[in-house]
Amino acid sequence: MNLLIRNGLVVDPANRINQVMDIFVEGGKISRVTKDIDAKADNVIDARGLIVMPGTVDMHVHLREPGREDKETVLSGTSAALKGGVTSLLAMPNTSPAIDSVENIKLLQGIIKRDSRCDCFISSSITKSRLGAETVDIGAVKRAGALAMTDDGSSVDDERVFTRALRDAKKHGLLVIAHCEDKGLSGNGVVNLGFISTKLGLRGIPKESEYKRVQRDIMLAQKTGARLHIAHVSCAESVEAIARAKKKSPRITCETAPHYFSLSEEDLVDYDTNMKINPPLRSRHDVAAIKEGLKAGIIDVIASDHAPHTENEKNIEFDRAEFGKIGLESGLAVSITELIEKAILDWPGLVEKIALNPARILGIQKGTLSPGSCADIVIVDSKRELILKKEDIVSKSKNSPFLNRKLKGVVKYTILSGKIVYVNPA
Protein backbone atom coordinates (compact mmCIF):
# COMPACT_ATOMS: atom_id res chain seq x y z
CA MET A 1 0.00 0.00 0.00
CA ASN A 2 1.29 3.41 -0.87
CA LEU A 3 -0.17 6.82 -0.35
CA LEU A 4 0.13 10.17 -2.07
CA ILE A 5 -0.80 13.37 -0.27
CA ARG A 6 -1.10 16.16 -2.78
CA ASN A 7 -0.90 19.92 -2.60
CA GLY A 8 -1.02 20.37 1.14
CA LEU A 9 0.92 23.05 2.98
CA VAL A 10 3.67 20.81 4.33
CA VAL A 11 5.07 21.98 7.67
CA ASP A 12 8.19 20.08 8.70
CA PRO A 13 10.50 22.26 10.78
CA ALA A 14 13.12 19.47 11.06
CA ASN A 15 13.74 19.93 7.34
CA ARG A 16 12.86 23.62 7.21
CA ILE A 17 9.91 22.93 4.96
CA ASN A 18 6.90 25.23 5.08
CA GLN A 19 5.37 25.21 1.61
CA VAL A 20 2.89 23.49 -0.66
CA MET A 21 4.27 20.07 -1.59
CA ASP A 22 3.34 16.48 -2.20
CA ILE A 23 4.28 13.58 0.04
CA PHE A 24 4.70 10.04 -1.17
CA VAL A 25 4.49 7.25 1.37
CA GLU A 26 5.67 3.72 0.69
CA GLY A 27 6.00 0.73 3.00
CA GLY A 28 4.89 2.77 5.98
CA LYS A 29 7.74 5.25 5.51
CA ILE A 30 8.01 8.70 4.04
CA SER A 31 9.47 8.16 0.58
CA ARG A 32 9.57 11.63 -0.97
CA VAL A 33 8.55 15.18 -0.09
CA THR A 34 8.71 17.40 -3.17
CA LYS A 35 6.55 19.39 -5.51
CA ASP A 36 4.39 17.71 -8.10
CA ILE A 37 5.08 14.06 -7.45
CA ASP A 38 4.02 12.09 -10.46
CA ALA A 39 3.51 8.60 -9.15
CA LYS A 40 0.74 6.05 -9.06
CA ALA A 41 -0.63 5.48 -5.60
CA ASP A 42 -3.22 3.14 -4.08
CA ASN A 43 -4.55 6.05 -2.08
CA VAL A 44 -4.53 9.73 -2.93
CA ILE A 45 -5.50 12.48 -0.51
CA ASP A 46 -6.13 15.91 -1.96
CA ALA A 47 -4.84 18.19 0.78
CA ARG A 48 -5.31 21.46 -1.06
CA GLY A 49 -5.86 24.21 1.51
CA LEU A 50 -4.93 21.90 4.36
CA ILE A 51 -1.91 21.70 6.65
CA VAL A 52 0.16 18.53 6.42
CA MET A 53 2.49 17.96 9.34
CA PRO A 54 4.14 15.20 11.32
CA GLY A 55 1.84 13.32 13.67
CA THR A 56 2.04 15.04 17.03
CA VAL A 57 3.95 13.70 20.03
CA ASP A 58 2.15 14.22 23.34
CA MET A 59 4.59 13.59 26.14
CA HIS A 60 2.14 13.94 29.03
CA VAL A 61 -0.85 11.59 28.95
CA HIS A 62 -2.64 9.74 31.74
CA LEU A 63 -4.10 6.60 30.20
CA ARG A 64 -5.20 5.27 33.63
CA GLU A 65 -4.66 1.63 32.68
CA PRO A 66 -3.90 -0.51 34.60
CA GLY A 67 -6.15 0.20 37.58
CA ARG A 68 -8.66 2.86 36.61
CA GLU A 69 -10.19 1.51 33.42
CA ASP A 70 -13.43 3.30 34.35
CA LYS A 71 -11.69 6.62 33.57
CA GLU A 72 -9.71 5.60 30.48
CA THR A 73 -8.01 2.63 28.90
CA VAL A 74 -5.10 2.29 26.54
CA LEU A 75 -7.66 1.54 23.84
CA SER A 76 -9.95 4.52 24.51
CA GLY A 77 -7.11 6.94 25.23
CA THR A 78 -5.09 6.09 22.14
CA SER A 79 -8.27 6.23 20.02
CA ALA A 80 -8.89 9.73 21.38
CA ALA A 81 -5.27 10.54 20.56
CA LEU A 82 -5.74 9.70 16.88
CA LYS A 83 -8.76 11.97 16.68
CA GLY A 84 -6.59 14.76 18.05
CA GLY A 85 -3.75 14.13 15.61
CA VAL A 86 -1.54 12.55 18.26
CA THR A 87 0.37 9.59 16.83
CA SER A 88 2.90 9.15 19.65
CA LEU A 89 2.36 9.62 23.34
CA LEU A 90 4.14 9.09 26.62
CA ALA A 91 1.96 7.33 29.20
CA MET A 92 2.32 8.61 32.75
CA PRO A 93 3.15 6.01 35.38
CA ASN A 94 0.70 7.01 38.13
CA THR A 95 -1.50 4.00 37.52
CA SER A 96 -2.47 1.27 39.91
CA PRO A 97 -0.09 -0.42 40.28
CA ALA A 98 2.36 2.38 39.51
CA ILE A 99 4.80 1.66 36.69
CA ASP A 100 7.74 1.30 39.05
CA SER A 101 9.35 -2.01 38.09
CA VAL A 102 10.33 -4.13 35.11
CA GLU A 103 7.39 -6.37 35.90
CA ASN A 104 4.89 -3.52 35.71
CA ILE A 105 6.49 -2.14 32.57
CA LYS A 106 6.00 -5.57 30.98
CA LEU A 107 2.38 -5.61 32.16
CA LEU A 108 1.74 -2.25 30.49
CA GLN A 109 3.66 -3.26 27.37
CA GLY A 110 1.35 -6.25 27.06
CA ILE A 111 -1.74 -4.05 27.23
CA ILE A 112 -0.24 -1.62 24.72
CA LYS A 113 0.63 -4.41 22.33
CA ARG A 114 -2.93 -5.67 22.52
CA ASP A 115 -4.89 -2.41 22.50
CA SER A 116 -2.91 0.66 21.54
CA ARG A 117 -4.08 2.52 18.46
CA CYS A 118 -1.05 4.80 18.27
CA ASP A 119 2.61 4.62 19.30
CA CYS A 120 2.46 4.50 23.04
CA PHE A 121 5.69 4.99 24.98
CA ILE A 122 6.24 4.25 28.64
CA SER A 123 7.62 6.23 31.55
CA SER A 124 8.45 4.78 34.91
CA SER A 125 7.92 6.37 38.29
CA ILE A 126 10.94 7.78 40.11
CA THR A 127 10.12 6.16 43.42
CA LYS A 128 8.47 2.87 44.29
CA SER A 129 4.68 3.21 44.41
CA ARG A 130 5.34 6.95 43.89
CA LEU A 131 5.76 7.34 47.63
CA GLY A 132 8.81 9.58 47.34
CA ALA A 133 10.99 7.36 49.51
CA GLU A 134 12.84 4.64 47.61
CA THR A 135 13.98 5.06 44.02
CA VAL A 136 13.12 2.47 41.40
CA ASP A 137 15.86 0.36 39.77
CA ILE A 138 16.65 3.01 37.19
CA GLY A 139 19.00 0.94 35.04
CA ALA A 140 16.46 -1.87 34.88
CA VAL A 141 13.44 0.28 33.96
CA LYS A 142 15.48 1.99 31.27
CA ARG A 143 16.55 -1.35 29.79
CA ALA A 144 12.93 -2.53 29.95
CA GLY A 145 11.93 0.37 27.72
CA ALA A 146 11.04 3.39 29.87
CA LEU A 147 11.85 6.62 28.01
CA ALA A 148 11.70 8.77 31.11
CA MET A 149 10.87 8.68 34.75
CA THR A 150 8.51 10.86 36.73
CA ASP A 151 6.44 10.83 39.91
CA ASP A 152 3.92 13.04 38.08
CA GLY A 153 1.02 13.93 40.29
CA SER A 154 3.51 14.54 43.06
CA SER A 155 6.95 16.01 43.43
CA VAL A 156 9.72 14.05 45.16
CA ASP A 157 9.80 16.13 48.32
CA ASP A 158 12.86 14.58 49.88
CA GLU A 159 15.82 16.36 48.36
CA ARG A 160 18.21 13.50 49.08
CA VAL A 161 15.95 10.98 47.36
CA PHE A 162 15.53 13.22 44.34
CA THR A 163 19.27 13.93 44.14
CA ARG A 164 20.00 10.20 44.22
CA ALA A 165 17.43 9.64 41.46
CA LEU A 166 18.98 12.38 39.31
CA ARG A 167 22.47 10.91 39.79
CA ASP A 168 21.27 7.46 38.74
CA ALA A 169 19.30 8.92 35.84
CA LYS A 170 22.43 10.70 34.67
CA LYS A 171 24.42 7.47 34.91
CA HIS A 172 21.89 5.55 32.85
CA GLY A 173 21.05 8.39 30.49
CA LEU A 174 17.38 8.55 31.45
CA LEU A 175 15.27 11.69 31.23
CA VAL A 176 13.67 12.92 34.47
CA ILE A 177 10.30 14.68 34.21
CA ALA A 178 9.49 16.78 37.25
CA HIS A 179 6.05 17.65 38.60
CA CYS A 180 6.98 20.77 40.54
CA GLU A 181 4.81 21.35 43.57
CA ASP A 182 5.65 21.98 47.18
CA LYS A 183 2.68 20.38 48.93
CA GLY A 184 3.60 22.24 52.09
CA LEU A 185 2.69 25.45 50.26
CA SER A 186 -0.18 24.25 48.06
CA GLY A 187 -1.82 22.39 50.94
CA ASN A 188 -5.54 21.86 50.43
CA GLY A 189 -5.76 24.61 47.83
CA VAL A 190 -8.02 24.05 44.82
CA VAL A 191 -7.60 27.20 42.69
CA ASN A 192 -4.96 29.86 42.14
CA LEU A 193 -4.49 32.06 45.20
CA GLY A 194 -5.70 35.61 44.55
CA PHE A 195 -8.77 37.75 44.07
CA ILE A 196 -10.64 34.91 42.37
CA SER A 197 -10.01 32.39 45.19
CA THR A 198 -11.11 35.05 47.67
CA LYS A 199 -14.24 35.88 45.68
CA LEU A 200 -15.23 32.23 45.28
CA GLY A 201 -14.39 31.38 48.88
CA LEU A 202 -12.05 28.58 47.80
CA ARG A 203 -8.65 27.74 49.24
CA GLY A 204 -5.84 29.16 47.14
CA ILE A 205 -2.69 27.57 45.75
CA PRO A 206 0.16 30.11 45.77
CA LYS A 207 2.45 30.30 42.76
CA GLU A 208 5.39 29.82 45.12
CA SER A 209 4.40 26.19 45.52
CA GLU A 210 5.26 25.72 41.84
CA TYR A 211 8.16 28.02 41.06
CA LYS A 212 10.13 27.39 44.25
CA ARG A 213 10.10 23.69 43.40
CA VAL A 214 11.06 24.51 39.80
CA GLN A 215 14.04 26.43 41.19
CA ARG A 216 15.01 23.56 43.47
CA ASP A 217 14.76 20.94 40.75
CA ILE A 218 16.80 23.07 38.34
CA MET A 219 19.49 23.49 40.96
CA LEU A 220 19.64 19.76 41.62
CA ALA A 221 19.71 18.97 37.90
CA GLN A 222 22.62 21.36 37.45
CA LYS A 223 24.43 19.82 40.42
CA THR A 224 24.01 16.26 39.15
CA GLY A 225 24.15 16.90 35.42
CA ALA A 226 20.95 14.92 34.85
CA ARG A 227 18.60 15.71 31.99
CA LEU A 228 15.53 17.42 33.48
CA HIS A 229 12.23 18.22 31.84
CA ILE A 230 9.76 20.31 33.82
CA ALA A 231 6.12 19.34 33.37
CA HIS A 232 3.06 21.59 33.07
CA VAL A 233 4.57 25.05 33.61
CA SER A 234 1.75 27.41 34.55
CA CYS A 235 3.13 30.67 35.94
CA ALA A 236 5.36 33.59 34.98
CA GLU A 237 7.92 32.98 37.74
CA SER A 238 8.50 29.41 36.56
CA VAL A 239 9.08 30.66 33.00
CA GLU A 240 11.60 33.18 34.34
CA ALA A 241 13.42 30.56 36.40
CA ILE A 242 13.64 28.24 33.40
CA ALA A 243 14.81 31.07 31.11
CA ARG A 244 17.68 31.78 33.52
CA ALA A 245 18.52 28.09 33.86
CA LYS A 246 18.63 27.53 30.11
CA LYS A 247 21.41 30.06 29.67
CA LYS A 248 23.65 27.84 31.79
CA SER A 249 22.09 24.45 31.12
CA PRO A 250 20.62 24.28 27.64
CA ARG A 251 19.56 20.67 28.16
CA ILE A 252 16.93 21.62 30.70
CA THR A 253 13.58 21.57 28.93
CA CYS A 254 9.98 22.22 29.86
CA GLU A 255 6.42 21.94 28.69
CA THR A 256 3.17 23.76 29.19
CA ALA A 257 -0.38 22.58 28.45
CA PRO A 258 -2.98 24.20 26.20
CA HIS A 259 -5.16 25.27 29.12
CA TYR A 260 -2.36 27.42 30.56
CA PHE A 261 -2.30 29.66 27.49
CA SER A 262 -6.03 29.62 26.76
CA LEU A 263 -7.79 29.79 30.12
CA SER A 264 -7.22 31.75 33.30
CA GLU A 265 -8.62 31.72 36.82
CA GLU A 266 -11.23 34.17 35.55
CA ASP A 267 -12.88 31.31 33.64
CA LEU A 268 -13.81 29.70 36.97
CA VAL A 269 -16.97 31.74 37.34
CA ASP A 270 -19.48 28.94 37.79
CA TYR A 271 -17.39 26.54 39.87
CA ASP A 272 -16.99 24.36 36.76
CA THR A 273 -15.00 21.41 38.13
CA ASN A 274 -13.56 20.75 34.66
CA MET A 275 -11.53 23.90 35.36
CA LYS A 276 -10.15 22.34 38.54
CA ILE A 277 -6.63 21.48 37.46
CA ASN A 278 -3.27 21.08 39.15
CA PRO A 279 -1.32 23.32 38.78
CA PRO A 280 -4.36 25.60 38.77
CA LEU A 281 -5.45 28.01 36.06
CA ARG A 282 -3.46 31.13 36.87
CA SER A 283 -3.93 34.85 36.33
CA ARG A 284 -4.17 36.66 33.01
CA HIS A 285 -0.64 37.91 33.60
CA ASP A 286 0.60 34.30 33.81
CA VAL A 287 -1.27 33.35 30.63
CA ALA A 288 0.56 36.17 28.85
CA ALA A 289 3.89 34.99 30.29
CA ILE A 290 3.25 31.43 29.07
CA LYS A 291 2.54 32.72 25.57
CA GLU A 292 5.65 34.87 25.70
CA GLY A 293 7.66 31.86 26.88
CA LEU A 294 6.40 29.80 23.95
CA LYS A 295 7.24 32.57 21.52
CA ALA A 296 10.72 33.14 22.96
CA GLY A 297 11.52 29.43 22.85
CA ILE A 298 11.83 29.10 26.62
CA ILE A 299 8.94 26.64 26.64
CA ASP A 300 9.96 23.77 24.37
CA VAL A 301 6.86 21.62 24.34
CA ILE A 302 3.07 21.73 24.44
CA ALA A 303 1.67 18.55 26.00
CA SER A 304 -1.92 17.86 26.93
CA ASP A 305 -1.63 16.57 30.52
CA HIS A 306 -4.68 14.54 29.50
CA ALA A 307 -6.20 13.59 32.86
CA PRO A 308 -9.50 11.75 32.51
CA HIS A 309 -11.93 11.48 35.43
CA THR A 310 -15.42 10.02 35.60
CA GLU A 311 -18.55 12.12 35.95
CA ASN A 312 -18.93 10.83 39.51
CA GLU A 313 -15.57 12.31 40.36
CA LYS A 314 -16.31 15.64 38.72
CA ASN A 315 -20.02 16.23 39.16
CA ILE A 316 -19.68 17.03 42.85
CA GLU A 317 -18.78 19.99 45.06
CA PHE A 318 -15.68 21.85 43.78
CA ASP A 319 -13.58 21.05 46.85
CA ARG A 320 -14.31 17.34 46.53
CA ALA A 321 -13.83 16.99 42.76
CA GLU A 322 -10.65 15.47 41.30
CA PHE A 323 -8.00 17.67 39.70
CA GLY A 324 -7.48 17.38 35.96
CA LYS A 325 -9.03 17.57 32.54
CA ILE A 326 -8.89 15.69 29.26
CA GLY A 327 -6.98 17.21 26.35
CA LEU A 328 -5.94 14.69 23.72
CA GLU A 329 -8.76 15.62 21.35
CA SER A 330 -8.70 19.38 21.87
CA GLY A 331 -5.01 20.23 22.27
CA LEU A 332 -4.25 20.90 18.63
CA ALA A 333 -7.41 22.96 18.07
CA VAL A 334 -6.77 25.03 21.22
CA SER A 335 -3.20 25.63 20.07
CA ILE A 336 -4.34 26.74 16.63
CA THR A 337 -7.03 28.98 18.14
CA GLU A 338 -4.77 30.64 20.68
CA LEU A 339 -1.32 30.56 19.10
CA ILE A 340 -1.66 30.48 15.31
CA GLU A 341 -4.75 32.67 15.05
CA LYS A 342 -3.30 35.19 17.50
CA ALA A 343 0.11 35.11 15.77
CA ILE A 344 2.03 33.94 18.83
CA LEU A 345 3.59 31.11 16.82
CA ASP A 346 3.80 30.39 13.10
CA TRP A 347 3.14 26.89 11.81
CA PRO A 348 6.73 25.66 11.97
CA GLY A 349 6.95 27.09 15.49
CA LEU A 350 3.84 25.22 16.59
CA VAL A 351 4.89 21.94 14.97
CA GLU A 352 8.19 22.18 16.82
CA LYS A 353 6.37 22.37 20.16
CA ILE A 354 3.88 19.59 19.51
CA ALA A 355 5.93 17.15 17.45
CA LEU A 356 9.61 17.79 16.84
CA ASN A 357 10.80 18.97 20.26
CA PRO A 358 9.02 16.33 22.35
CA ALA A 359 10.34 13.62 20.00
CA ARG A 360 13.88 14.94 20.40
CA ILE A 361 13.54 15.21 24.18
CA LEU A 362 12.26 11.64 24.40
CA GLY A 363 14.88 10.44 21.92
CA ILE A 364 12.43 8.90 19.47
CA GLN A 365 12.58 9.05 15.68
CA LYS A 366 9.31 10.94 15.37
CA GLY A 367 8.08 14.42 14.74
CA THR A 368 9.51 14.81 11.24
CA LEU A 369 8.61 14.08 7.64
CA SER A 370 12.18 13.23 6.66
CA PRO A 371 12.41 10.64 3.88
CA GLY A 372 12.96 7.25 5.46
CA SER A 373 11.20 8.13 8.70
CA CYS A 374 8.01 6.54 9.92
CA ALA A 375 5.03 7.97 8.03
CA ASP A 376 3.11 9.46 10.96
CA ILE A 377 1.23 12.35 9.44
CA VAL A 378 -1.67 14.56 10.43
CA ILE A 379 -3.70 16.60 7.96
CA VAL A 380 -5.52 19.57 9.44
CA ASP A 381 -8.17 21.96 8.21
CA SER A 382 -6.95 24.99 10.12
CA LYS A 383 -9.76 27.23 8.91
CA ARG A 384 -12.66 25.12 10.03
CA GLU A 385 -14.36 25.92 13.33
CA LEU A 386 -15.86 23.38 15.63
CA ILE A 387 -17.80 23.46 18.85
CA LEU A 388 -16.59 20.74 21.19
CA LYS A 389 -19.59 18.59 22.14
CA LYS A 390 -19.68 16.03 24.90
CA GLU A 391 -21.24 13.40 22.66
CA ASP A 392 -18.38 13.71 20.15
CA ILE A 393 -15.66 12.98 22.69
CA VAL A 394 -13.93 9.64 22.08
CA SER A 395 -12.17 9.51 25.43
CA LYS A 396 -14.02 7.52 28.10
CA SER A 397 -14.15 10.61 30.29
CA LYS A 398 -15.75 13.86 29.24
CA ASN A 399 -14.11 16.31 31.64
CA SER A 400 -13.10 18.98 29.17
CA PRO A 401 -13.05 22.67 30.12
CA PHE A 402 -13.58 23.47 26.45
CA LEU A 403 -17.03 21.86 26.18
CA ASN A 404 -19.35 23.99 24.07
CA ARG A 405 -16.56 26.41 23.21
CA LYS A 406 -15.79 27.38 19.68
CA LEU A 407 -12.33 26.27 18.52
CA LYS A 408 -10.54 26.56 15.23
CA GLY A 409 -8.78 23.66 13.53
CA VAL A 410 -10.10 20.21 12.72
CA VAL A 411 -8.03 17.06 12.15
CA LYS A 412 -9.13 15.61 8.80
CA TYR A 413 -6.80 12.60 8.60
CA THR A 414 -4.40 10.91 10.95
CA ILE A 415 -1.89 8.56 9.36
CA LEU A 416 0.17 6.12 11.39
CA SER A 417 3.04 4.25 9.71
CA GLY A 418 1.51 5.06 6.35
CA LYS A 419 -1.96 3.80 7.25
CA ILE A 420 -4.94 6.12 7.46
CA VAL A 421 -6.13 5.43 11.03
CA TYR A 422 -8.53 8.32 11.50
CA VAL A 423 -10.74 10.19 9.05
CA ASN A 424 -12.93 13.03 10.23
CA PRO A 425 -16.49 11.92 9.53
CA ALA A 426 -17.80 15.41 8.79
Tell me the catalytic residues: 305
Nearer to other proteins, 284 or 320 (CB): 320
Distance CA 31, CA 36 (A): 14
Interface pick for other proteins out of 199, 383, 389, 406 (rule CB under 8 A): 199
Nearest to other proteins of 108, 205 (CB atom) = 205
Give the per-residue contact string, 383-422, with other proteins (x = CB under 8 A; - = no). ----------------------------------------
The whole-angstrom separation of Cα 81 and Cα 119 is 10
| CB 85, CB 56: distance < 8 Å | yes
CA-CA-CA-CA torsion sign (40, 45, 48, 53): negative
- Pairing relationship of beta strands 419-423 and 86-91 according to DSSP bridges: unpaired
Q: Single out the residue of 158, 264, 286 nearest to residue 211, CA to CA.
A: 286
User: Which residue, 159, 167, 174, 171, is CA-closest to 125?
Assistant: 174
Minimum CB distance to other proteins smaller for 325 or for 366: 325
Minimum distance from residue 237 beta carbon to other proteins (Å): 16
Q: How far is the CB of 115 from other proteins (least distance, A)?
A: 32
Q: Given the complex with other proteins, which of 271 and 323 has the nearer CB atom?
A: 271
| Position among 169, 193, 350, 362 found at the interface with other proteins (CB under 8 A) | 193
Site pattern 283..312 for other proteins (x: CB under 8 A): -----------------------------x
In the bound complex, what is the minimum distance in angstroms from residue 188's beta carbon to other proteins? 8
Sole binder of other proteins in the list 39, 158, 195, 288 (CB under 8 A) = 195
Distance, CA of 229 to CA of 92 (rounded, Å)? 14
CB 279, min distance to other proteins, A? 17
Q: Which is nearer to other proteins, 200 or 394 (CB)?
A: 200
Q: Which of 56, 123, 155, 197 binds other proteins (CB under 8 A)?
A: 197
CB-wise, 15 or 315, nearer to other proteins? 315
Q: Which of 237, 277, 243, 242 is CA-nearest to residue 260?
A: 277
CB 362 within 8 Å of CB 121:
yes
Q: Centre a 10 Å sphere on the Cβ of residue 137 and count the other Cβ atoms it contains.
A: 16
Q: CB of residue 296 vs other proteins: minimum separation in angstroms?
A: 29
Smallest distance from the beta carbon of 416 to other proteins, in angstroms?
40
Instruction: State the first-to-last Cα distance of the chain, in angstroms, to the nearest integer.
Output: 25
Q: By rule CB under 8 A, what count of residues binds other proteins?
A: 21
Q: In what order do the strands lie in the sheet with 56-61?
A: 56-61, 86-91, 119-124, 146-149, 175-178, 228-230, 253-256, 301-302
**What does the alpha-carbon distance between residue 145 and residue 121 come to, in Å, rounded to a whole number?**
8
Within 310-369, the residues that bind other proteins by CB under 8 A are 312, 315-320
Q: For the segment 245-284, give every residue that binds other proteins (CB under 8 A).
A: 270-271
Residue 207 DSSP code: T
Residues engaged in binding other proteins (CB under 8 A): 188, 193-202, 204, 270-271, 312, 315-320
